[in-house]
Amino acid sequence: MSLRVLGVDPGLTRCGLGVVDVAGDRRATMVAVGVVGTAAEQPLDQRLLVIANAIDEWLDRHQPHVVAVERVFSQQNVSTVMGVAQVSGVVIAAAARRGIPVALHTPSEVKAAVTGSGRADKEAVTRMVTKILRLGVAPRPADAADALALAITHAWRAGSGAAAATSAPGHASLTPAQKAWAEAEARARRGR
């Protein structure tokens, strides 16, 4: 059984979204990819509403087992960090309303998972995402490729162990101890 992950590269101007199914053998298949854009001239509340509506639509349409969101990176400028944090909050709340677990991954974790180097540039990430997903055309813009990379990273990091099993259907085959361990890992990832 495969694990379906919605990856979200949060941003106010461009919010990347990518849905990936990953089988137990780590073979990843793209389900959907896109970018939700808002104009800087729009009021903040309207920008967040556009993104919230898009997230709701993607969650309802694709029904992921887990949502992977890029963790806010503190070395960016303050206004960028605030926008990313606000969009991240919208995404996390939308997933929580549906009982979908959320995992946060840093940009360097994602780069290392898909390219082998935590210092890879966006072009290297895009190339590897294209290769991993066996796509004929690279996903553009980079925000779309980054969202797919987040989804792949989460699925690969969760692996076939107990953490992935709580998010995927059919986790009833785990022992009570495995279920407890997986639930504790999921809570820790969500910051509880």
- Ligand-binding site membership of 56 (annotated): no
Domain count, the chain: 1
Cα→Cα distances 145→116, 125, 192, Å: 16, 7, 29
φ/ψ of residue 37, rounded to 5 = -115, 150
User: Between the CA of residue 169 and those of 25, 63, 123, 144, 166, what are the distances in Å?
Assistant: 16, 12, 34, 26, 8
pLDDT average, residue stretch 183-189: 57
Note the pLDDT of residue 188.
57
∠ at Cα 178 (174, 184), nearest 5°?
Answer: 130
Longest distance between any two alpha carbons in the chain, whole Å:
53
Would you place residue 16 in the very low, low, confident or very high pLDDT band (cuts 50, 70, 90)? Answer: very high
The annotation status of 183 as a binding-site residue, yes or no, is no
Residue 181 lies in a domain: no
Flag whether 143 is in a domain. yes
Q: Would residue 74 count as lying in a domain?
A: yes
Q: Is 18:144 a contact under the CB 8 Å cutoff?
A: yes
Boundaries of domain holding 137: 2-162
pTM score: 0.81
- Mean pLDDT computed over 54-75: 92
Is 35 within a domain? yes
Average pLDDT over all residues of the chain:
86
Band the pLDDT of 158: cuts 50, 70, 90.
confident
The single-letter DSSP state of residue 173 is G
Task: Judge whether 19 and 58 are in contact, CB under 8 Å.
Answer: yes
pLDDT in tens, 76-120: 677 788 889 999 999 999 999 999 999 999 999 999 999 998 899
In a domain, 178, yes or no: no
- Residues recognised as catalytic: 9, 70, 143
User: Has 143 been labeled as part of a binding site?
Assistant: yes
Residue 189 in domain: no
The answer to whether residue 97 sits within a structural domain is yes
Name residues whose C-beta falls within 8 Å of residue 149's C-beta, 6 or more positions apart in sequence. 7, 18, 110, 111, 113, 114, 125, 128, 129
Instruction: Please report whether residue 78 resides in a domain.
Output: yes
Domain harbouring 49, CATH code: 3.30.420.10
User: What integer is the mean pLDDT of 167-185?
Assistant: 47
**pLDDT value, residue 49:** 98
